[in-house]
Structure 1
Amino acid sequence: MTRPGLISVVGGESTGKSVISAALGAELPAVVVSEFLRTWVEQHDGRIPGPVEQAHVMAAHRESEVSAVARAARGGWSWVVSDSGPLMTAVYSIQYYDDASLLPQALEWTTRSERVLWCQDDFPWQPDPQRDGSHARARSQQILAAIFAEHPELPVLDLRGSLDERIETVVTTLT
């Protein structure tokens, strides 16, 4: 049984992470891991996780990734696409709570990814009840840029352009 490759999708809010994740799930094909943070917020009546809850959110998303990789291996799938994986939880912890304590674990898990797709903010921000605004997107992107500059070993693929252009970039890189 071949181990499926994990693709981690990251980027600030409204950069197309969920859209590209779903599209890649169909295109590659791949098992898609949904953003656990979004589910957590919905289960908690719109409340965002507090500082001490961030570690649970990150670990739960990672558990979903591990489970998806096992499921993909059993099903003969080559890929697992993780929408807003553990690295994004660490970024949000830095951004909202000035807490970088989750970053080492998130980086360890992220280095196991075949690719880290960094969705850029090259299209207009779209409102959503769980989003804070374009200023929050810009701050997340700045934090990611600093992390990627400090960790060139991460297999980051910069995604820009339309959905079709982003998919083509990923598929071309993976084949």
Structure 2
Amino acid sequence: MRLPFRVAILGAASSGKTTLAQALALRYGAAWVPEYLREFCDLRQDVPVASDQFHIASTQVAREEALAALGGRFLFCDTTPLMTAVYSIHYFGGIDAQLEGLAASRRYDITLVCKPEFAWVPDGLHHEEEDVSGIIDSILLNELARRGVPYTRISGGLEERLLQVGHLLGD
């Protein structure tokens, strides 16, 4: 096992990714990589366009690598370039070659997919319409299958999700 053990946490908006990543980091005394897209939207005071997608994903990766270099047993990643690719499919009609290459090159020890079962909460400029969560979830599951990426579906309240992940991590 390479260290840190990388856990990808994927899902549509309001599916509980950030809450789960933070709680796992606290529980395991580990680092977590926040989603750069939130910061990008806050800094720009605008939503991203197609030409921003590779920058967003590559910045996410750079931050992940910087935290991984610090070591530790686990690294919890609140999104990956694959989620950027999923949003590119939905909002821009496809994935550009640079983003596809980056998404295809990333490997995680475990991939978790948070079920979109929480009430949708608008999140400033970083948001999507409430009815898009199911569409994004479907695109994500299709992309995981197309790429042959094994994943575990995570559902329920936070404590239930923590138990599910704990079983995967050997607790």
Q: TM-score, normalised by structure 2?
A: 0.91
Match of 1:173 in 2: 168
Letter of the aligned partner of 2:112 in structure 1? L
Structure 1 residue 141 displacement after superposition: 0.4
Structure 1 residue 48 displacement after superposition: 1.4
Match of 1:128 in 2: 123
Match of 1:140 in 2: 136
Report the aligned-residue RMSD.
1.3
Question: 1:108-161 CA deviation, whole Å, 9 max, x = no partner?
Answer: 21xx20111100012322232221222221121011111122233x23111011
Q: Is the contact between residue 61 and residue 85 of structure 1 (CA under 8 Å) also seen in structure 2? A: yes
Q: What 5-or-longer segments of structure 2 have no aligned partner?
A: none
SS, match of residue 53 in structure 2: helix
Within a 5 Å distance, the mapping from 1:23-102 to structure 2 comes to 23-45=23-45, 47-71=46-70, 73=71, 77-101=72-96, 102=99
SS, match of residue 127 in structure 1: coil
Q: TM-score, normalised by structure 1?
A: 0.89
Structure 1 residue 104 displacement after superposition: 4.0
Aligned length: 166
Q: Please give the alpha-carbon distance, in whole angstroms, between the structure 2 residues aligned to 1:22 and 1:34.
A: 9
Q: Please give the alpha-carbon distance, in whole angstroms, between the structure 2 residues aligned to 1:107 and 1:164.
A: 32
Q: What 5-or-longer segments of structure 1 have no aligned partner?
A: none
Q: Is structure 2 residue 2 aligned with structure 1 residue 6?
A: no
Q: Is structure 2 residue 119 aligned with structure 1 residue 105?
A: no
Match of 1:149 in 2: 145
Letter of the aligned partner of 1:30 in structure 2? A
Structure 1 runs of 4+ with >4 Å offset: none
